[in-house]
Amino acid sequence: MAESKPLVVGIGGTLSPNSTTEKAIKTSLEGAADAGADTLLVPGPALELPIYSWERKERSVEALHLIDSLRKADGIVIGSPGYHGSISGLIKNALDYTQDMAEDDWPYFHGRPVGAITTGAGWQGAVTTLTALRGIVHALRGWNTPLGVAINTATPTFDDDGNCLDPKTDAMLRDMGREVAESAKMRADTRDGREIPGGFN
């Protein structure tokens, strides 16, 4: 049987296209692709969704795309800017939509490795936001990768073409993407019905 190719989905950013957060997610997804994963990005502008309410059952096209992408995901990378010590309302609202996955065979992020990226104009905001995001991933039953990346945007981190200007940050983002992809491979094999010792069963 041919080996499964995992899908790693990146979500996050801001409403500004090509934000620093979005560029960081793309860099991490490149690392996942280098490790053999297929990748898909759902950027910040695609996450401008109605405020989540469980009473409302109608879903926008964008919300349906988000949930469909997450259901297919074997691994996930989430990126958020730090707003007042935590993740942005845009990203929190998007994550609230995972309640639609509550009754799935793989509910919420269950069985999926998740890499977290946060940005902030200072280390305090970036780091506290990373802690908050990793806590949310845990609440959604995801497996936080050992490596999470907080980025201080007080100095430029990426150029206009999306290239990371700091070799250490670039390496960390790519390493985290590889961590997600390598762990996601086990989930992909389980999804395809194979017994994987030590995998996400």
Any idea where the domains of the chain sit in the sequence? 7-191
pLDDT tens digit sequence for 103-136: 999 999 998 999 999 999 999 999 999 999 999 9
pTM: 0.91
Ranges of beta strands (E only) in 1-121 are 7-12, 38-43, 75-83, 86-87, 113-120
Which pLDDT score is estimated for 197? Answer: 37
Beta bridge partners of 82: 87
Which pLDDT score is estimated for 200? Answer: 37
Chain mean pLDDT for the chain: 92
d(CA 131, CA 133): 6
Structure tokens at 192: 């395809």
pLDDT tens digit sequence for 137-181: 999 999 999 999 999 999 999 999 999 999 999 999 999 999 999
| Residues 76/114, Cβ–Cβ less than 8 Å | yes
Q: Which fold has domain 7-191?
A: Rossmann fold (3.40.50)
Which pLDDT score is estimated for 3? Answer: 66
The more confident residue out of 180 and 57 is: 180
At 54, is the pLDDT very low, low, confident or very high (cuts 50, 70, 90)?
confident
